[in-house]
Amino acid sequence: MSEIKSEISILIVDDEAVIRDSLSALLSEEGWNIYTASNAYEAVKTAFQPADSELTEQQFTENWSDTA
C-alpha cells in the first residue's frame, strides 16, 4: 500500500495555516505526496502540478473571477 501512496499526490487547500500544516504533516507521515495552497489563486497555480486528490473545507471565494 505504501508504494501506491507514494505515487498519489494530494492537494490540501485551506486558508488556516494550522489546519493546512497539520493535515500535511499527518498525511506526509503516512507516505502521501502533499501539495498545499492557502487560497484559490494558489490552488489553481498548484493544480497544474500533478495531484490525484484534494481536500477542501469549503467553496472558493465569491470573487473567483478576481483570482484568474
Task: Quote the pLDDT of residue 63.
Answer: 58
Task: State the pLDDT at residue 22.
Answer: 96
Domain borders along the chain are: 2-53
Distance CA 43, CA 13 (A): 7
- Listed as ranges, residues in the chain with pLDDT below 70 are 1-6, 49-68
Within 10 angstroms of residue 21's Cβ, the number of other Cβ atoms is 13
What's the CA gap between 62 and 3, in Å, rounded?
39
Residue 46: what pLDDT? 84
Q: How many Cα atoms occupy the beta-carbon half-sphere of 46 within 13 Å?
A: 19
pLDDT at 60: 54
Calculate the average pLDDT of the chain: 78
Which stretch of DSSP H or E encloses residue 52?
none
Flag whether the pTM goes above 0.85: no
Residues 6 or more apart whose CB falls under 8 angstroms from that of 15 comprise 38, 39
